Amino acid sequence: MKRLVSCSCLESFVPVGLSFLCLLNTNCTREAKVDTKTSDAATVKVEKAERQNIVEIDHPDQFPLVTVEQRHVLAELKVTGVVAPDVDRTVLVLSLVGGRAVEIRARLGDEVKKGQVMLLINSPEVALAFSDYQKSQADELFARRQLDRSQLLFSKGAIAKRDLEAAEDADQKARVDLETAAERIRILGADLNHPSPIVEVRAPSSGTIVEQNVTGGTGVRSIDNSPNLFTIADFSRVWVLCDVYENQLAQVHLGDFAEVRLNTYPSRVLRGRVSNIARVLDPTTRTAKVRLEMDNSSRLMRAGMFATATFRSQTEQLRTVVPVTAVLRLHDKDWVFKPEGGPRFRRLEIQAGRVFSDGLQEVLSGLGPGDKIVANALQFSNAAENQ
């Protein structure tokens, strides 16, 4: 009985085991098929990409090759900056008197010359100053006459010397008071020869009006409690303020020259000199302000314009270079064509750097010294497409 039971049990378990093995075998087969398909798809993509970068051309001998070289070049640093007025050439126009603006003769954006009348002010303060001056004139005239009379009387022995000295002292004080009143009028900007409460505010220097805080008919306060009326900036010389990262500051020195290109005029190369390197870094950007002083007699640069400054060090560095014609710029990438034997060439992506004045371009990665590439990449690419 025991044997029969065990056989029966074995017979019942055999189909289940076989079914489980078949299920496992089916799943493994499916996974193997999926893996094979994925592998085949990846292989196809790689092969397709490889075929796209392989170029076959007839008569390859018509396209000369050049050898990748290494040369010593001056280290270069490019930074961005912005044009700003020279604060040493920026002047505030102030009024020493209070009153009312009766006429505006210069406005925001105007070019003015030194001494040019910019504003007329009707000032009660000046009117009072002229009144005091006229009183001082009368007092001085009276004191002088008293002195003349005292000198005459003293010469005849009619008065004591003490009375003569008192008259002399009064005359001296009257003269001082008159001179003080006259000086006050001159300080306030009025003309002694033309008594009038109207004061002319003149430009203290030549330049462009970049700020205006007064309009016709408005009240003008004195220098103690009023903002400046105008701001004049002389743009014959300007600054370019550049942001240089702290790990690049060692490449910039006081007195160094830099080439400056404005975003507005990228083909124009200007020249500036480093006059200041900030002692304090911006805690957010970790940059220091480097100030370039620029000649702007042509008035090409305007405050607020963006610029790119190029600093060149006096130390040389070894760099990999190729002719600039050997590099093809396509779809925001740099390419060269490298021979692989016979008519086959490989289109190779590289990372190109700056272009030098002698027609060479720096190669940052993708090529090494001694590599051979096509000398004229654009001509080669056009020939390959048209064949």
Of 44-48, 172-176, 366-370, least confident by mean pLDDT is 44-48
Specify the pTM. Answer: 0.58
CA distance 355 to 310: 13
The pLDDT, as a whole number, for residue 51 is 63
CA distance 212 to 161: 62
Cβ burial 116-127 (10 Å sphere, 16+ → b, else e): eebbbbbbebbe
Q: Report residue 354's pLDDT band, with 50, 70 and 90 as the boundaries.
A: confident
pLDDT digits (tens, 9 = 90+) for 157-193: 888 999 999 999 999 999 999 999 999 998 888 888 8
CA nearest neighbour of 256 among 332, 335, 311, 324: 311
pLDDT digits (tens, 9 = 90+) for 208-230: 999 999 888 777 876 665 678 99
CA distance 352 to 324: 10
Q: Residue 217 region, left (φ>0) first, then alpha (ψ -120 to 50), else beta?
A: left
The pLDDT, as a whole number, for residue 223 is 64
Backbone angles phi, psi at 137, to 5 degrees: -60, -45
Q: What percent of the chain has pLDDT over 70?
A: 85
Question: Which DSSP string corresponds to 328-355?
Answer: EEETTEEEEEEE-STTEEEEEEEEEEEE
> In the predicted model, is pLDDT for residue 13 greater than 50?
no
**Domains identified in the chain and CATH numbers:** 54-73+317-386 (2.40.420.20), 78-87+234-315 (2.40.30.170), 129-180 (1.10.287.470)
Q: Are 67 and 372 in contact (CB under 8 A)?
A: yes
